[in-house]
Structure 1
Amino acid sequence: MKNLNYTSEPDFFILMGLTDSREIQRVLALLFLLIYLVTVLGNAGMMLIICLDTQLHTPMYFFLTHLSFLDLSYSTVITPKTLENLLTSTKIISCTGCFTQMYIFVLLAAAECFLLASMAYDRYVAICNPLHYPVVMSTRLCSVLITGCYMIGTMDSTVNMLCMSTLHFCRPKVIHHFFCDTTPILALSCNDKRNIEIIMFIFADSTLMVSLTTISVSYVSILSTILKINSTSGKHKAFSTCASHLLGVTVFYGALIFTYLRPSKSYSLGKDQVASVFYTIVIPMLNPLIYSLRNKEVKNAVGRVIKKRDSSR
């Protein structure tokens, strides 16, 4: 490492990963592989069921299809390279590969934040204004909301990449993380990063705060409406329609806020990596389980698809 010319721009980075122990690396590789297989099967299966069953062609499941797509996509951006690094002694990732991974990840993560906000608004309309739900949540509005999610994600990711492209690296090209995230890459730069960090923090903070505020306002209104329902069964039915989404939001935003919005003095590489594993690898596996195991409509749809397949033989 001492012979490396740190003043030159790197053509590769070294991902240090989660641990130096070969035994632990093998255990993590097996665990992450199993999680990734469940993630692929769960999210791909969710998209397939929603596509095949016409009774699920509603706004809520339209958004859920895109949620499964986003989870599957950004898990695929992170997990295969992580598995490669765990199973081989080569920890190198090209500069192009590193920044591509970061660009796609930021795009998908930002898009998911606003997708979850769109899903919260959908639940708000369904519970607080049910008579006008088919009119308000029209196909056109759903398409606009989805397009907006991807456009905002692309904008955030592009700004992030433009900021990162101005960095100059004069330190060892070692990233103390298991994937190319913005914080560990910024730590390698030797030029003044204050303005870049401010711009990136504003965009990241705005993404989290705007989407989280939308979700919070929606659920305050939903809770207020549910409390006004007289019957216990009515309250339970109303709450069950948004329980899965609320659980998914809590898990996703909890990990993001812990990683990106806590005070810098409390930063810990180990805690940061654990949180990153959770929202990049584990949560994409949990979402299809949360939305299927707690949802009778999805379970019934699976049964209808299986019966239809059997009857067609």
Structure 2
Amino acid sequence: MANGSAVTEFILAGLTDQPQLQLPFFFLFLLNYLVTAVGNFSLINLIGLNPHLHTPMYFFIFNLSFIDLCHSLIITPKMLMSFVAKNIISFAGCMAQLFFFCFFVHTECYVLTAMAYDRYMAICRPLTYTTTMSPQVCSLLMLGSYMLGFAGAMVHTGGMLRLSFCDLNVINHYMCDIFPLLQLSCSSTHVNELVDSVLVSTVVIVSSVIIFISYALILSNILHMSSSQGLSKAFSTCGSHIATVALFYGSGMFTHLKTSSNGSMSQGRFFSVFYTNVVPMLNPLIYSLRNKDVKLALKKTLAKIAS
């Protein structure tokens, strides 16, 4: 390999090494994969095919579903394979999975932040919302999210490529994640651990602060609302986003804390299931089951298909 590594392939240990759990887990996560793919693909198509959903909020939901769909596509197939056979991945394939995993996780952080700003403008600045959140502004916010996600993924992957992997090649995980790979390196990983921790902490803190400030201002505005209809609309538009943020950031931060602490890699592997498998499955359900516009679009689409 270009980095002088003696290891040309890795073996993914999978989620569990207990034989009696392999087959039940295979069908469980296969069902999860199908629901995730169908749910996100359907939401993408609904938003794309229905003009009344071509608004800033649904533009961000469209991209969120696209990210979740791609996230699932790069993680779950290899995870399913580990339940039924010896799961071997090449060095290049492992680095590619690491890159795209980091890319989509970082990008989702920025998209959720942009969605919080969108909700702030819609509730607190309704008179200037249309001009402020113009298609050009929304496109720039999304472009910035993808570019920052790309930059973060390049830092993580570039740092991993500078390391050497000599003898150990069994990754104690179901995917090529940062900390399980660092455990296998025969090089000094101090710089990598420092850079990765600083980068992740910066992204999480900055995006969390922006989301918190946005919702603090929204809450202040809601408390001054006199119309019950306005209150109901504000809570309905913000509730789904708050649920998504809580699930994504909560599971991600807890997993990061577990995997970065000594002796907790196995625990972190189980907790990571929430933001790699559960969150991408729940997001389309969260944004569709309690959303009247999506339900209306679904009825119209089904009616067109039936006719």
Q: Give the TM-score of the pair, scaled to structure 2.
A: 0.95
Note the alpha carbon deviations across 1:147-199, whole angstroms, 9 max, x for none: 00110010001111111111112341111011000000001112221122111
For 1:103, the equivalent position in structure 2 comes to 99
> Quick one: which of 64, 67, 85 aligns to 1:70?
67
Instruction: Please give the alpha-carbon distance, in whole angstroms, between the structure 1 residues aligned to 2:191 and 2:267.
Output: 26
Correspondences of 1:235-254 after superposition (within 5 Å)? 235-254=231-250
> Residue 169 of structure 1 aligns to a residue in which SS?
coil
> Quick one: which of 37, 40, 49 aligns to 1:52?
49
Give the deviation of 1:236 after TM superposition: 2.3
> Quick one: which of 149, 154, 163 aligns to 2:150?
154
For 1:186, the equivalent position in structure 2 comes to 182
Instruction: Please give the alpha-carbon distance, in whole angstroms, between the structure 2 residues aligned to 1:146 and 1:267.
Output: 38
For 2:119, the equivalent position in structure 1 comes to 123
1:292–1:267: structure 2 CA closer, same or farther, 3 Å change rule?
farther
Correspondences of 1:71-90 after superposition (within 5 Å)? 71-88=68-85, 90=86
> Quick one: which of 26, 30, 34 aligns to 2:27?
30
Give the deviation of 1:85 after TM superposition: 1.4
For 1:3, the equivalent position in structure 2 comes to none
For 1:212, the equivalent position in structure 2 comes to 208
Give the deviation of 1:261 after TM superposition: 4.2
Letter of the 1:160 counterpart: H
Letter of the 2:276 counterpart: T
Instruction: Please give the alpha-carbon distance, in whole angstroms, between the structure 1 residues aligned to 2:106 and 2:276.
Output: 13
The answer to whether the Cα contact below 8 Å between 2:179 and 2:260 also exists between their aligned partners in 1 is no
Matched, 1:295 2:291: yes
Matched, 1:169 2:148: no
Identity over aligned pairs, percent:
46
Deviates more, 1:73-82 or 1:166-175: 166-175
Give the deviation of 1:234 after TM superposition: 2.8
Instruction: Please give the alpha-carbon distance, in whole angstroms, between the structure 2 residues aligned to 1:268 and 1:143.
Output: 40
Unaligned runs of 5+ in 1: 1-6
Instruction: Please give the alpha-carbon distance, in whole angstroms, between the structure 1 residues aligned to 2:69 and 2:24.
Output: 23
Instruction: Please give the alpha-carbon distance, in whole angstroms, between the structure 2 residues aligned to 1:265 and 1:38.
Output: 33
Matched, 1:136 2:93: no
Matched, 1:280 2:280: no
Correspondences of 1:257-272 after superposition (within 5 Å)? 257-261=253-257, 264-265=260-261, 268-272=264-268
The answer to whether the Cα contact below 8 Å between 2:67 and 2:108 also exists between their aligned partners in 1 is yes
Instruction: Please give the alpha-carbon distance, in whole angstroms, between the structure 2 residues aligned to 1:100 and 1:263.
Output: 21
1:233–1:23: structure 2 CA closer, same or farther, 3 Å change rule?
same
What root-mean-square deviation, in Å, do the aligned CA atoms of Structure 1 and Structure 2 show? 1.6
Give the deviation of 1:230 after TM superposition: 2.2
Instruction: Please give the alpha-carbon distance, in whole angstroms, between the structure 2 residues aligned to 1:151 and 1:177.
Output: 28
> Quick one: which of 238, 251, 256 aligns to 1:255?
251
Instruction: Please give the alpha-carbon distance, in whole angstroms, between the structure 2 residues aligned to 1:94 and 1:286.
Output: 31
Instruction: Please give the alpha-carbon distance, in whole angstroms, between the structure 2 residues aligned to 1:21 and 1:132.
Output: 58
1:66–1:263: structure 2 CA closer, same or farther, 3 Å change rule?
closer
Unaligned runs of 5+ in 2: none
Matched, 1:306 2:302: yes
1:66–1:252: structure 2 CA closer, same or farther, 3 Å change rule?
same
1:267–1:257: structure 2 CA closer, same or farther, 3 Å change rule?
farther
Instruction: Please give the alpha-carbon distance, in whole angstroms, between the structure 1 residues aligned to 2:240 and 2:160.
Output: 36
> Residue 13 of structure 1 aligns to a residue in which SS?
strand
> Residue 14 of structure 1 aligns to a residue in which SS?
strand
Give the deviation of 1:87 after TM superposition: 1.4
Instruction: Please give the alpha-carbon distance, in whole angstroms, between the structure 1 residues aligned to 2:280 and 2:256.
Output: 19
> Residue 281 of structure 1 aligns to a residue in which SS?
helix
Note the alpha carbon deviations across 1:114-172, whole angstroms, 9 max, x for none: 00000111000000001111000000000000000110010001111111111112341
1:143–1:267: structure 2 CA closer, same or farther, 3 Å change rule?
farther
Letter of the 1:39 counterpart: T
Instruction: Please give the alpha-carbon distance, in whole angstroms, between the structure 2 residues aligned to 1:282 and 1:169.
Output: 32
> Residue 11 of structure 2 aligns to a residue in which SS?
strand
Instruction: Please give the alpha-carbon distance, in whole angstroms, between the structure 1 residues aligned to 2:283 and 2:176.
Output: 23
